[in-house]
A and B are shown apart, each in its own frame.
Chain A
C-alpha cells in the first residue's frame, strides 16, 4: 500500500517537472533591476567583455555611483561562453540580457528575438597563416581565394602538389568547429559551397590553434587578427587577393575574411545597460578591445 502511494507520488512529481519544463522562458526580466547584468555567447568576445566589466566594477563599485537614478546595489556583471549560437539562444529564451555574437545575427535569430537590437563593437579578422619556416611563406606573400580554397579542400594533400618547389610534407589544416563563428566567416569568404577537407584538425580554441601553427611547420590555418598579431614573429600571414590584413583594410571592409563583433538583445536598454554599453564604447572600453587584439569600430 505504502509502496503504491510512493510510486504515485514519484510519477506525479515527474509529470509536474516535465510540465514546468514546457512553459516559462518568456520572462523578459525587466520588472525590477537587481544589479546584475548577464552576457553569454561567443568565446571570442567573452574575455573582452569580462575584462571591461571588471574595470567598470573597480571604477564604480555600486550602480548609484554610475548614475543617481540607479539603485545602491553592487555592480555584478556575469559573462559566460558557449559560442555565438548560445548567445542568440540566450536572448531568444530570455535567460540573459545580452548575447555576444562574433558574426552577424542570422535571419532566423533576428526573427525569433522580439524587438531585435544590435550594437556593433568592432571587427575580428581571420588571417590565413603558416609557420614562418613553412616553404610557402618563403615563396609567396599573396594568395588568392581560389588558391586558399584549393589548399583547404580535398584538392591538395601535399604541399608540393600546390607548387612543385614546396616541401613534400603533408598539408596540415587547422580549423575551428564547423558550426562556429570563425569557421562560418571562413566558409562564406573563401570556401563558398566547397567543403573543408575532413582531414582537417579541429582545435577547440583560437589560441590553441595558433599554438599548433607555431609548433608545426607543415600546418596552415586561419587565426584571428588578435591572436595572430601577438605572434607576428613566429607566423606568417598572407595577403588575400592582394589585400593586406591591416587594421584599415579590415575596418573598411576591403579585407574579405573578417567578422563583426556585436551584442544583441531584445527591447530597449535599461539605464544600467545603457551606462555599461557607453562604457564599452568609451576610450577605456575600446582600449581593452584593442588590447585583446580586435579592431574597435569607433
Chain B
C-alpha cells in the first residue's frame, strides 16, 4: 500500500516536470512569435527577409535581414565544410585504427574540447587567429567569414566526432567478425561497410554541428567583425543573427521597430533550426526505412 502511494507521487512528479519543460518551450516560442508579430504587422515578411540593408537607427529605419541571414548560413556551412572531413577522419581513426588503450586516453581530450567556454575560443581567435590570418594573407584586418568559420569548425568538431564515432563503433561491432572470417582487408571493410552504414551517424553529427554553429554567439562575435555585409567572399566581414541580437538587444529601446525586428530575427533563426531538424528526421527515416 505504502509502496503504491510512493509510486503514485513519483509518477505525478515526473509527469509534472515533463509538462513544465514542454510548457517552457511552448512559452518561449509563443513569446518570440508574439513579439515578432508586432514587427510583421509593420513590415512585410518578404521585405524583411530579402531587404539588403540593415540600418535600424536611420531615418527611416531599414531592416533588411538578407545579409545577416545569408551570413548565418554561410558561416555554419563553411564551418561544417571544414569540420566534417576532419571529423570523419578522426572518427575512422578512433573506431577502426586506434588501439583501445590509446583510444581511452584520447577520448577525454576530445570531450574536453566540447566543454571549453565559447568566450575562450573567441579570445584565442582574437589573439592568435586574427593576427595569423592578417600575416598569412596580407589582410588589413583578420575579422572575416573565414575566421568565424575556423573557430566554429573547431567548436563543432567534438560533437561531430562523438556522434560519428559512436555510430561507427556500432557498425564495426556488427561486421567485424564476418569481415575477418571472410578475410577482407580493413580498408575494404571501412570503404564498403563502415562508411555506408555510418551515413545516418555522419548526418546526425552534421545536423548537430550545424545547429550548434548557427546558434553560437560569443566566439563568433569576437572574430567576424560584425559588419552587416553580404557574404560574397570568405574575406568578407559578416554579422550573423546571434551576433546581431546579442550586440543590439541591450540598446534597442523597448517597443521600437528595432526591438521587434531583433525578435523577428530570432524567430527566423528558430524556424531555420526547426526546419533543419525536420529535414534531418525525414532523411533519417528515408535511409532507415
Q: A-side interface residues toward B, CB under 8 Å?
A: 6, 10, 13-14, 17-18, 21, 43, 81-86, 88-89, 92, 106, 108-109, 169-170, 172, 177-181, 187, 193, 195, 198-204, 208, 211, 215-216, 218-219
Contacts and interface: CB of A to CB of B under 8 A. Distances in A.
Nearest to A92: B254
Contacts of B56: 178-179
A202 B27 contact: no
A179 B251 contact: yes
Nearest to A86: B250
B250 A83 contact: yes
B251 A14 contact: no
B283 interface: no
Contact of B248 (A14, A92, A109, A177): A177
Nearest to A83: B250
Given A14-B26, A14-B27, A202-B225, A172 B140 contact: yes
B237 interface: yes
Given A10-B23, A14-B23, A179-B258, A201 B253 contact: no
B141 interface: yes
Interface residues of B, number: 40
A177 B247 contact: yes
Nearest to B54: A198
28 contacts: A10-B22, A21-B31, A81-B250, A83-B250, A85-B252, A92-B254, A106-B253, A108-B253, A109-B253, A177-B247, A177-B248, A179-B57, A179-B248, A179-B251, A180-B250, A187-B57, A195-B55, A195-B58, A198-B54, A201-B141, A201-B226, A202-B227, A202-B247, A203-B226, A204-B222, A211-B126, A215-B130, A216-B140
Nearest to B57: A178
Given A178-B56, A195-B58, A203-B226, 6 more contacts: A81-B250, A82-B249, A86-B251, A178-B57, A195-B55, A198-B228
Contacts of B55: 178, 195
Contacts of B228: 198
Interface centre among A18, A88, A177, A216 (most CB of B within 10 A): A177
Given A13-B23, A216-B141, A199 B247 contact: no
A13 B27 CA distance: 11
The 9 closest A-B pairs by CB, nearest first: A83-B250, A202-B226, A179-B251, A170-B140, A83-B251, A177-B247, A180-B251, A201-B225, A82-B250
B30 interface: yes
Nearest to A89: B254
Nearest to A199: B227
A85 B254 contact: yes
